Amino acid sequence: MAKTINFLMILLVFSRLQAQEKVLFLVAGQSNAVGVGDSAQSAKCMLETAFEYRFSNDTLLHLQDPVGANELKFGAATTGSIGPAFAKTYAELSTKQVVIVSAARSGASCHQKAELDNYGTWDDTGRLQLFENAVLKTQNAIEKTGVKLSGIIWLQGERDANAMNAQQLTAQEYEAALTKVIQRFRDKFGEKVGFYIVQTGYYTGHPQSGFEQVRLAQKNVTQRLKNTHVVYENTHLFKEKNWLYDVIHYNQTALNDIGEAAAKYILTHPIK
């Protein structure tokens, strides 16, 4: 009798988890979106609360670092990312299951003028264009889960800031390119898809001017476009906090803080 009760309880818990509402988020951008942290220090998500979508075998996996995969020109975290901290916080506060689609590439630019070698760009022209692959991966995740895309978490701007410092790109061109990529995503997934920006930090030992221009452009875009937000702005303080992995990449303490803060912000700023 006790074994039967235990089995029924397991079935009940499983059925409740299966019935839980899912939310789907795309994490996109360049290397800090990929993640250069430490999986040993990243957040740990409870089973059946957070998932990662993998395109190569069309599966949902338990979300844990290293998040991402070397597929469709995108990369995997080496070895920690914002994904687990974001999903863990979001799931705990909302009681919803979180599905992460990782589509980021180290060194990728927003504007094609800033594209470097074969690092790629999110623009609609350039040598290695990333946008359509991100759309493909996200569309497959939507088909797999049966839920719409809730939002895009964007960590990108370092490549364009370096191009500004080299006088290859203007702040106006970058802002226009960022506006364009947001609209292109919304053309594919709907006007009410949230776009959530983690402001770009600094490159230690390099001029801050280009990075400040990127940060300002990111803020400007959120003031013009509906459902577009800066969800984290303190990346420029990471050197003082000792939260850098190297001269430009965020360590796992920083990535965890970004993930947790972004989840809390998104939950308290619903789409209008």
The structural domains of the chain, with segments of one domain joined by +, span: 22-268
For the whole model, what pTM was predicted?
Answer: 0.93
Provide the residue count of the chain.
Answer: 272
47 residue type, one letter: L
Q: Which CATH class is domain 22-268?
A: alpha beta
| pLDDT for 3 | 52
| pLDDT for 114 | 98
Q: Specify the 3-state DSSP secondary structure of 25.
A: strand
pLDDT tens-digit series, residues 127-138:
999 999 999 999
pLDDT tens-digit series, residues 194-235:
999 999 999 999 999 999 999 999 999 999 999 999 999 999
Burial 91-118 (b: 16+ CB within 10 A, else e): beeeebbbbbbbbbbbbbbbbbbbbeee
Q: Among 4-18, 20-34, 189-203, whose mean pLDDT is lowest? A: 4-18
Beta strands 22-29 and 97-104, pairing class: parallel
Q: Which two tokens stand for residue 156?
A: 């990108």
Tell whether the model's pLDDT for residue 32 goes beyond 70.
Answer: yes
| pLDDT for 272 | 87
Q: How far apart are CA 141 and CA 148, in angstroms?
A: 9
